Amino acid sequence: MPLLFFGLATFVLTYPVSLHLQDAVLDPADPMLNAWILAWDAHILPRDPLSLYHANDFYPYSNTLAYSEALLGQGLVAIPLIWLTHNPILAVNVVWLASFILSGVGMYALVYHFTRRRGAALVAGMIFAFNPFRFAHLFHIQILSAQWISFTFLFLDRLVKQRRWSDWAWFVIFFNLQVLSCYYYALFIIVSVMALLLGYWLLDRRRFDRRLLLRLLTFAALTAALQIPLSLPYFTVAESMNFERSVGDAVGGGADLTDFITAPPANWLYGALSAGLRDEGWWEHVTFPGLCALVLAVVGATWGRGRKSALRAPTALYLLLAGITLTLSLGPALRLGERTIFSPLPYRLLFDYAPGFQAVRQPARFHAFTMVGLSVLAGVGVAAVGDRLRNLRWARGVPLALACLIAAENLALPLPFTHAPLADQIPPVYHWLAEQPGDGPVLELPILMDVGAVESPRLYYSTFHWKRLVNGYGGFFPPTYAYFLFFDREFPNQPYRWILGLGVRYVLLHRWQYDAQELQRIDARLVEFHDRLRLVADFGEDQVFEVIQPATGLSNRPLSAFSWSGKVALLGYAIEPPVARPGETVEISLFWQNRAPVATNYTVFVHLAGDDGALMAQHDGQPASGERPTSTWRRDEVIVDVHTVLISEETTAGMYEARVGMYELQTMERLPVLEGDGMIHGDFLPLGRLYVVEN
């Protein structure tokens, strides 16, 4: 019955999206990003599971899936569905709908466990599954995927009280499912479980005997063994790319007091009333629980703490949980609008000392756990009302009436959506890409400030070709992407050196995303680059340019298959100008990428050699003119290292090969250049050729 009830409620309250699961997306940004993530999981896990986090976005960086959620919990349903239907949009929508249904069922099970009242459990499930916070995050599948929280707390209660290994097993399963569904909630559920354990200990310390402690320690050890390997890429990326939030970010992402009376704009009842409180990014600042939930929770908290109440323990536990998580949702400071009332709050301790919280931008998302506490208290409140009205004929209809009232309070129909193109509807340029050999890399232009709406569809389209993209979208952005964002409008002049240096093979120019004046300027500049950016496919509004390396006359390609002692790779290079005269200087830009810590400060040499191997010119020096010694390079960091080589007046006309390598200055010993299989290639890497012509 609960499954059918919440299924029907979900179908109605998500209309008309619930009728268009095959191709509907609420927004072109996050839903299409999530479709790409789930498609990547389905693509890579059966082929190379150890490369899960090395997704095809944000080339040339590694562990780029860790810039977002991996959605492995959602993948348990979505991945088989993608294998079966080849439709990631359908998969993400099925997971989206299931989050509402299972959130309701989970809370129903938790409250029924405490109250043994189906009506109370039904109302609590409606509050948790359908509330303003969830409707504000309709396009965030990871935030909606809170269904395993209630199941986790249910079996935690059973474990504490009965100490059975079967309850321990379900507690482990549901806890880890929740961790794998959302890493925000992974951090928050650890805090919440600790808060509940504190509550159990305060209520009855005798429960914490050796049997229970053994089970809790075993749970912690097993969970750590499973989750640490899966979370390491997140910590690796945070350290290597310096992806951390500031205290100011956490303050801005905390709930201010006005957020607790703010509803989504589409809400029929409260949307217009709270319009003046919503600002940019309003969806992160909706922590209004709904009046029905609030009133019922107050009734439950009041009645449940009474001396004669049989529900004193769960009331105290979930009042404690609601209080702690509400306080933490405020972030490091108590604010009213732009004004700080008090600082610091307890969240500052988590930010300063708890691993992982430095990456949290939105402490307000703790509100999901506050809603767990309020939903349980509301269930207790409905049970209290039921006891008072049990002698009345119509008392049995009260829970259903309350459930309908909660649904009406959260109506936001019809949900707006757009149709996502399926395989036979995607732009033909991506079918063309799928037919090309190799894995790119590909740069798609323009890069616009509305990053999510622009890049998420490109990521989704990449599921049809799986080429590596310089583009991407996530919670963080790497430096090279920021460079192209800044210089996008200067294409191809300013970005060309970086396009060469990163080893980009194709540039996709989406003409329809430029205005007419910008296109005129770009077309005029492209004429000058006709021999370096070769038009290889023209689909009208979408054009593909193949990048030509002037030093070889061949298609540009990454050189990252080679490395110096397995620690440093050369992505690519640019020789400017490719033709020089005696007495002139040539700039050779090397684009290094660090793969492992380097303890020694190596010297880079750039040689220009004739066909007989004789040295014509050279430049030796520390990278980036000594400003970036190799010992300072962070993992995955891209270093642009420019060497200016003087062509002497005595140089004869001809072709000269550029060679690059590294050596230790004190010993003059060169680092070996290794091929991808670990075989030694030599002690230098030959690049392209420089042409010297007579004066």
Q: Residue 430 pLDDT > 70, yes or no?
A: yes
Q: Do 129 and 6 form a contact (C-beta atoms < 8 A)?
A: yes
Domain annotation covers residue 418: no
624 token code pair: 């980036």
Domain annotation covers residue 414: no
484 pLDDT band (50/70/90 cuts)?
Answer: confident
Distances (CA, A) of 601 to 63, 250, 598, 631, 663: 26, 37, 8, 5, 9
Domain annotation covers residue 471: yes
| Helices and strands counted in the chain (H then E) | 22, 21
75 pLDDT band (50/70/90 cuts)?
Answer: very high
Tell whether 402 and 346 lie within a shared domain: yes
Domain count, the chain: 3
DSSP string covering 340-386: EEE---THHHHHHHSTTGGG-S-GGGGHHHHHHHHHHHHHHHHHHHH
Q: Residue 509 pLDDT > 70, yes or no?
A: yes
Place of tokens 């684009």: 591
Predicted confidence at residue 244, as pLDDT, reads 83
Q: Which of 520, 554, 588 is the last residue of a domain?
A: 554
Tell whether 246 and 135 lie within a shared domain: yes
677 pLDDT band (50/70/90 cuts)?
Answer: confident
Going by C-alpha positions, the residue among 329, 409, 334 that lies closest to residue 369 is: 329
Tell whether 402 and 437 lie within a shared domain: no
Going by C-alpha positions, the residue among 303, 331, 329, 58 that lies closest to residue 192 is: 329
Distances (CA, A) of 387 to 120, 138, 259, 384: 11, 36, 34, 5
pLDDT > 90 in the chain, percent:
87
| Spatial CB neighbours of 228, under 8 Å, sequence gap ≥ 6 | none
Tell whether 403 and 445 lie within a shared domain: no
Q: Which of 500, 534, 554 is the last residue of a domain?
A: 554
Tell whether 29 and 119 lie within a shared domain: yes
267 token code pair: 């809400």
Domain annotation covers residue 1: no
C-alpha of 551 from chain center: 38
Going by C-alpha positions, the residue among 348, 402, 342 that lies closest to residue 378 is: 402
Predicted confidence at residue 560, as pLDDT, reads 87
Domain annotation covers residue 590: yes
Q: What is the CATH number of the domain that holds 529?
A: 3.40.50
How high is the mean pLDDT of the chain?
Answer: 94
231 pLDDT band (50/70/90 cuts)?
Answer: very high
- 118-129 and 367-388 helices, crossing angle to 10°: 150
Place of tokens 């002692």: 565
**3-state DSSP call for residue 631?**
helix
Q: How far apart are CA 90 and CA 20, in angstroms?
A: 9
Q: What is the mean pLDDT of residues 580-586?
A: 94
Q: What is the mean pLDDT of residues 327-346?
A: 95
Predicted confidence at residue 307, as pLDDT, reads 60
Going by C-alpha positions, the residue among 399, 124, 132 that lies closest to residue 290 is: 132
Predicted confidence at residue 522, as pLDDT, reads 94
Domain annotation covers residue 141: yes
Tell whether 549 and 598 lie within a shared domain: no
pLDDT tens digits, one per residue of 187-229: 999 999 999 999 999 999 999 999 999 999 999 999 999 999 9
pLDDT tens digits, one per residue of 233-290: 999 998 888 888 899 999 999 999 999 999 999 999 999 999 999 988 899 999 999 9
Q: What is the CATH number of the domain that holds 670?
A: 2.70.50.60
Q: Which of 533, 554, 575 is the last residue of a domain?
A: 554
Tell whether 131 and 206 lie within a shared domain: yes
Tell whether 398 and 459 lie within a shared domain: no
pLDDT tens digits, one per residue of 299-320: 999 988 776 677 899 999 999 9
Q: Do 42 and 92 form a contact (C-beta atoms < 8 A)?
A: no
pLDDT > 70 in the chain, percent:
99
Predicted confidence at residue 126, as pLDDT, reads 98
Q: What is the mean pLDDT of residues 121-137?
A: 98
Tell whether 130 and 182 lie within a shared domain: yes
Predicted confidence at residue 308, as pLDDT, reads 64
Is the pLDDT higher at 501 or at 396? 501
Tell whether 541 and 588 lie within a shared domain: no
Tell whether 215 and 272 lie within a shared domain: yes
Q: What is the mean pLDDT of residues 471-491?
A: 88
Q: How far apart are CA 368 and CA 127, in angstroms?
A: 11
Predicted confidence at residue 586, as pLDDT, reads 96
Which region holds residue 503: left if phi is over 0, alpha if psi is between -120 and 50, else beta? left
Domain annotation covers residue 322: yes
Tell whether 538 and 569 lie within a shared domain: no
Q: Residue 502 pLDDT > 70, yes or no?
A: yes
* Residue numbers of the domain that contains 447: 428-554
Q: Do 95 and 145 form a contact (C-beta atoms < 8 A)?
A: yes
Domain annotation covers residue 422: no
Distances (CA, A) of 275 to 23, 121, 271, 272, 293: 31, 33, 6, 5, 21
Output phi, psi for 93, to 5 deg. Answer: -75, -35
What value does the CA radius of gyration of the chain take, rounded to a whole number of Å?
Answer: 30
